[in-house]
Amino acid sequence: MKTDALNWHRIAKAAQWTCFRDVCAEIPDADFVDGRLVFNIRQNRFRLIVLPVSRRTLYIKVLLDHKAYDRKEWVNKWT
């Protein structure tokens, strides 16, 4: 599935995710890293890092290019 930021927003806004398995059913290349959801945007060119707060509340923390994501500086932010 090709995911861009607008498509991701449309999917996430309508979602009724209760667990990570639900997320992967709609967006198969999502990852769960250190309590955050990580979505590949534009065929892995960007990573959207999201903090799930509840089933209906997600905080978008940062959109990084692949190089910035790989540096892992974001891991120690936003607990």
* pTM given for the model: 0.87
Give the whole-number percent of the chain exceeding pLDDT 90. 62
Q: What amino acid is encoded at 51 in this protein?
A: L
DSSP secondary structure code for residue 71 in this structure: T
DSSP secondary structure code for residue 74 in this structure: G
pLDDT at 73 exceeding the cut of 90:
no
pLDDT in tens, 35-65: 899 999 988 899 999 999 887 889 999 999 9
Domain spans of the chain, in order of start: 5-76
DSSP secondary structure code for residue 63 in this structure: E
